[in-house]
Every structure is written in C-alpha cells, then in structure tokens.
Amino acid sequence: MTVQNIGPFYRTTSNTQLNEGFFARVLVLVEGDTEELALPVFLEHAGMNCDLLGVTPIGVHGKNQIPKYWRLFGKFGIPMIVVFDNDDDATGAKRDSNVNLANCFGLRLDELLGVRGSCAVLMSRHAPATPVVVVTGDFETALRNDFALWNGGVSRPYDELDTEARFLIKPLAGQNKGQVARHIARGLTLRYPEYQPSLIGLITAELAKLGLTGR
C-alpha cells in the first residue's frame, strides 16, 4: 500500500455501508452479515439502542478483510470493537486467516485459538489499542452452545428457531445467513427475555468503558 494507491484501493473495495463507519461514535467491526444483523437485536434487548447511541456494527465480508478496515478507521481515530471467530482447520485457509489476524493485532496464535467458553476479550498490542472479541468456533455454533449452557444443556429452542427461519426464508446454500441469525436473535429475545448471550455481555462492557451505556 502506497500514498499513491491507497485512495483508489479503498474506493474500489469499499461500499456505502462501510462508509457509515466514518459517522459512528463506536464502530463494531465484524466478519459479515450474520453478526451485523444479529448483534443489534441482542444489543437493543440489553438496553443498547445502536442508532441512538451511535454504535455501528459493520460486516466487512470476510475475516481477512478486518485488518484493512481496522487500520483505515483507526487512522481516523474512530473507537472500535472488533469481533471475529477463531474457527480453525490447522493447515488450510482458516489457519491462514487466524495467523493473519493474530499478526495484525500483535497477538500470539495460541492466545487466539485458546479462548475458553463461547468468547473472550483480548486487547490488540498494536495501535490503535482495540478490544478484540474472539468467538469460539463460529458465531452460530457459539451462540447455540451459549444458549444451551444457559438453558440447562437444552438447545432445542434455538434449533426450532433455526428451522423456522429456514422455512420462512428458504435460503440457498451458504446464503441468507444474516437473515437466519437475525430471526433467531429476535426469537430468543422474545421468548427468553432473561437470556443475554455472553458475547453481548462482553460488548456492552467494552461500550461502557467508552462511556456508552443503555437503560
């Protein structure tokens, strides 16, 4: 990346949605549609209205896209929370992605892969200092397991909402994951108002450190 090509690079790779990040009080940088659509539902249920507070979850269309947007928004001094999963395959593309992110944030690979429970917060050792929320496995599996743990080991309500969403949306293979995740989020918050995903607890705690609190 050079001074000469940085402008054309971001004009080519960005879109209007990503540009919303420049107007955020706090930017929650996530991998894709799944987190981008589901997190606001859970955050609002926790009393954090994203629109009113200026909290903007933005999906960057892939784990490997996180570093370039973290660096870009960081140069403008926009506070960020980064959320991604540590799904790994030991030798393939997923491992390469995890190595890429570990290097980006100055973390050791074993730290990133060794997260216990459904999620944990690590701090970037590279500037800008940023809380990095690492989700164990993938978002959907981590949420399912987190809910099951809260619900006495029973994941059936989550599975029923997943089946219901797929019946309504009829997603093609590998598509509409965000809409499915949002339907599940809405169903869980409606049917189980006492439940708060561990991931949301971590994010709201980091938002509170930045002076943003809900009801």
Could you give the C-alpha distances from 85 to 30, 134, 141, in angstroms and in order? 9, 5, 10
Domain 6-137+195-209: give its CATH code.
Answer: 3.40.50
φ/ψ of 52, rounded to 5, equals -70, -35
Range 68-72, long-range pairs (CB < 8 A, 24+ positions): 68/13, 69/18, 69/21, 69/29, 70/29, 70/104, 70/130, 72/10
Q: CA 14, CA 2: separation in Å to the nearest integer?
A: 17
Could you give the C-alpha distances from 136 to 1, 35, 88, 112, 176, in angstroms and in order? 32, 14, 10, 9, 22
Q: CB of 37 within 8 A of CB of 182?
A: yes
User: Which two three-digit tokens encode residue 126?
Assistant: 């590279």
Question: What is the pLDDT, as a whole number, of residue 5?
Answer: 64
Cα 131–Cα 61–Cα 53 angle in degrees, nearest 5: 50
Sheet of 26-30, strands arranged across: 55-59, 26-30, 80-85, 131-135, 119-123
Q: What is the pLDDT along the chain (215 residues), one digit of tens a residue?
A: 565 666 676 666 666 777 888 899 999 999 999 999 999 999 999 999 999 999 999 999 899 999 999 999 999 999 999 999 999 999 999 999 999 999 999 999 999 999 989 999 999 999 999 999 999 999 999 999 999 999 999 999 999 999 999 999 998 887 899 999 999 999 999 999 999 999 999 999 999 999 998 76
Q: What is the pTM of this model?
A: 0.92
Residue 24, Cβ neighbours under 10 Å: how many? 20
Cα of 156 vs its chain's centroid, Å: 24
DSSP annotation of 21: G
Kind of pairing, strands 131-135 and 26-30?
unpaired
Packing angle, helices 177-191 and 33-45, rounded to 10: 20
Residues 6+ apart with CB under 8 A from 153: none
pLDDT in tens, 16-25: 777 888 899 9
Residue 61, Cβ neighbours under 10 Å: how many? 16
